[in-house]
Amino acid sequence: MSETLSKQEKSVRRSRWGGETGVAMVVFALLALLPTVFSGYVIYILPQYMLFGLLAMSLGLLWGFGGILSFGQAAFFAVGGYAMGLMMQQALPVNAAYLGIIVAVLAGGGLAAIAGYFLFSAGVRATYFVLITLALSIIAEQIAVSQSQITGGWNGLFVDRMSLTFGPLGEVSLYGDVAFYYFVLPLIVLCYLGFRWLTLSKVGKVLVGIRENEDRVIALGFNVSAYKTLVFALSGGLAGFAGALYASQANFVSPSLAGVLFSTEVVVWVAIGGRASLLGALLGGILVSSLSNYLSAITPEYWQLLLGIIFILVIAFFKSGLSGAVVQLFQFLQRRRG
Amino acid sequence: MNLALSIAVDATLITLVLALAAFGLAIIYGLVGVINMGHGAMLTLGAYFAWATTTAGIPFGLAVLLSALGVCVVGLLFEHLVIRFFYDRPFETLLLTWAFFLIATEVIKIVFGTDFRNVESPLPGAYELAGLKIPAYRSAVAGFTLLLIGASAFVFFRTSIGIKIRALIQNREVASLLGLNIALTYKLVFGFGAFMAGLAGALIAPMLSIDPYIGNVFLVRSFFVVIVGGVGQLLSGTLLGSFFIGGSETLFALFTNQVVAQAAVFFIAIMILRFRPQGLIKGR
C-alpha cells in the first residue's frame, strides 16, 4: 500500500500522527516525573485517576470517532473490576492477576460485542442506544447488588494488589504505590498509542465517516453495523481492562462502579476534555476526576452544581471540549503570526 | 382465583401509576422530539414541591397543583434559556437535559438536604372490594390517570389547539406557512410536559419516601414505556407500554425478587426494541 502513497500524503499522515502524539508524549513524560516530586497520597491516588482517564478514553473512542454515545461505559469497567476480583480469589497455578486482566478484557469486550451486534444490526437509533446503555448499567448494578454470594452485594468485593511474576525469573510486588504507578503509566501509554494508531488507520477513517454521514458510508458499501460493533467491543474491552487494574489498585469493587451516576460522570469527563481526540478524553478523565476528588472534599454540593453548569456550557458552545478549544487557540495564534 | 384477581389489580394500579409518570416524557418526546433526560429530575422536583407545600399547611389538592405549576415554570425557564436553540439537534438536547438533571439534583440537595422526606397520604388505608384489599390512594391516582389521559385525548383530537399541534408534528414547514407560531407552540408543549412531570411527581410523593434520586427509578422505566409503546402514540402507546413494563414487573416479582424482576423487564424491553424498533404500536 505504501508505494501508492504520494510524498505529500505521507507527510500529511506523518504530521497528523505527530501533532497530538507529540503533545501526548510530553504529558506522559511529565506524568513519569511526578513521583520524583510528590509522594504519599498523590502518588497513591493518581494511578486511579489515570485509569479513570483510560475509561474516558474508551468512551472517547466510541463517541468521538464513531459518533456513538454510551451511558453505560461504567458497566464494562465494573465487569472488568469484578472479573479481576473473582479471579484473584481463586487458587490458580498461574498468576491470578494476569488471568484476571485477560478475563476482564474478554468479558468487557465480549459483552459489548454481543450487545453491539444485537443492537447495531437491528439499526437501533443512536438516541435509543443511549437509553439502552443506560439500562445496561442499571442492570449491571442490580446484578452486582443482588448476587451477593458472588459479588458481596452492597459491601462489595475486596481485591488484593496484584504482583508481577516472570516465571522462574522472580516476582515484583506492586504493593507499593510508586511501583503501581510505574506499572500503570506505561500501560496507559501503550493503550493510547495503540488506539491512536487505530483511529488513524482505515478503520478510524471509516468510523469518522459513519459519524459524519452514515448513509453515505453505507452507500459506499461498508458494513456499517460491523464497524460499529467492532468499535463498541474495543471500547468495552478497554473499559474492562481499566476496571481490572482499578480493582487491584483500589483494593475494592462495589456495585456503584457500574451505576448510572458513575456511568454518566464518564460522559461529563469526555465532554469537558474533548471527544474529538483520545488525548482530550484521557486528560478530561484524569483532570476532572482529580478535581472532583479535591473540590468535593471542600464543597461537595457546589462543585457538582458547577460541574453541571460547565457541562451545559461545553455542550452548548464548545462541542469539542477543552482540547478542541486549545487546538483552536493555537490555530488562531498561528494565523496571527503567519 | 383470588390470587389471579389480586395480581390483576396490582398490575393495573402499577400500569396506571407508571403511565402517569411517563406521560410528561411521552408528550415532550412525541411532540417536539426532545429526549428529556431531565424528566426524572422534574418528577423529583414535583415531589419535593409537594412536600414543601403540604408541610406549609396547604391542602393536598392545591399543593399538587402548585407543585405542577412550579415544575412547569422551571421547565419553561430551561426551555427558554437553553433548549429552544437546539430543537433540531436531538443529540445535543439529550445531553443538555442530562445536564439539567445534574444541576436540578444538586440544587435539590442544597435546598432540601439529602434526608428522606415523607408526604402524608391524603387517603390512607385500603378498602375492600370483592374480598380484595385495594389501597385507597393508589387507586385514586390510577383513576385520576385515566381521567387525565381521557382529557388529553379530547384536547388532542377535538380542539383547535390539538389540531394545530398534530399539524405541527406531521409537517413543521407547512404548519408554519399556515401561520402557526412554531416557537411558541414548542414552548407550550415543553411547558405542558414539565407540568405533567411535576404533577406526576407530586401525586407519587405520598407513595414512597422522597430522596433526591427517586426520579431516576422512573426515568428509564418511563423511557421504555414510551419507546416500547411507540413514539408519538401519546395515549394508546403510553398505556400499552406501561402495561408491558409495569405488568411484567408485577409478574416477575412474584417469582423472584424485585431487583431481578426489574433487570428482567429491562431485558424484555431491549428485546422488543431489537425486533420492533418502532414500538408495539407503529408511530409516524
pLDDT tens digits, residue range A234-276? 999 999 999 999 999 999 999 989 888 898 899 999 999 998 8
Q: In the block, which residue shows the cell 416479582?
A: B253
Q: How far is CA B39 from CA B44, B74, B282, in A?
A: 9, 12, 24
Question: Mean per-residue pLDDT for A19-44?
Answer: 89
Note the pLDDT of residue A7. Answer: 66
**Residue A2 included in any domain:** no
With 0-12 / 13-18 / 19 or more C-beta atoms within 10 angstroms meaning exposed / middle / buried, residue A309 is middle
Minimal C-alpha gap between A315 and chain B (Å): 7
What are the phi and psi torsion angles at A176 (to 5°)? -75, 150
Bridge partner list, B129: B132
A 60-89 residues with CB below 8 A of B? 69
CB B26 within 8 A of CB B149: no
pLDDT category at B164 given cuts 50, 70, 90 is confident
- pLDDT by residue (tens digit) across A114-172? 999 988 988 888 888 888 898 888 888 888 888 888 888 888 888 888 888 887 777 88
Selected residue of A301, A306, A309, A313 to mutate for chain B interface (largest B Cβ count, 10 A): A301
Torsion A121-A124-A130-A133 (CA) sign: negative
Q: Tell me what ipTM this predicted complex has.
A: 0.86
For residue B207 the three cell numbers come to 407513595
- pLDDT by residue (tens digit) across A71-95? 999 999 999 999 999 998 887 778 8
Amino acid in position B70:
G
**Residue A17 included in any domain:** no
Q: What is the reported pTM?
A: 0.90
Q: In the block, which residue shows the cell 431481578?
A: B260
**Residue A15 included in any domain:** no
Question: Mean per-residue pLDDT for B9-24?
Answer: 91
Q: CB distance from B154 to chain A under 8 Å?
A: no
Q: Which residues contact B94 (CB under 8 A, 6 or more apart)?
A: A69, A127, A130, B34, B35, B37
Q: How far apart are CA A266 and CA A288, in angstroms?
A: 10
Q: Which residues of B touch A315 (CB under 8 A)?
A: 92, 95-96, 99
CB spacing of B277 vs A132 below 8 angstroms: no
Q: Residue A328 sits in a domain of what CATH number?
A: 1.10.3470
Strands A252-253 and A163-165 come out as unpaired
For residue B96 the three cell numbers come to 443538555
Percent of chain A with pLDDT over 70: 94
pLDDT category at B284 given cuts 50, 70, 90 is very low
**Residue A170 included in any domain:** yes
CB spacing of B35 vs A139 below 8 angstroms: no
CB spacing of B109 vs A301 below 8 angstroms: yes
Q: CB distance from B158 to chain A under 8 Å?
A: no
**Residue A10 included in any domain:** no
Q: Which helix (H) or strand (E) holds B127?
A: strand B126-129
Q: Which domain holds residue A204?
A: 45-336
Q: Across the interface, which of A132, A304, A316 has its CB nearest the CB of B270? A: A132
Q: Which residues of B touch A304 (CB under 8 A)?
A: 102, 105-106
pLDDT category at A32 given cuts 50, 70, 90 is very high
Minimal C-alpha gap between B71 and chain A (Å): 19
Q: CB distance from B99 to chain A under 8 Å?
A: yes
- pLDDT by residue (tens digit) across A158-191? 888 888 888 777 788 888 889 999 999 999 999 9
CB spacing of B277 vs A123 below 8 angstroms: yes
Amino acid in position A279:
L
Minimal C-alpha gap between B126 and chain A (Å): 31
Q: Across the interface, which of A138, A143, A308 has its CB nearest the CB of B99? A: A308
Q: Across the interface, which of A122, A134, A315 has its CB nearest the CB of B96? A: A315
- Please state the domain count of chain A: 1
Q: CB distance from B275 to chain A under 8 Å?
A: yes
Q: Which residues contact B90 (CB under 8 A, 6 or more apart)?
A: A127, B33, B34, B35
**Residue A125 included in any domain:** yes
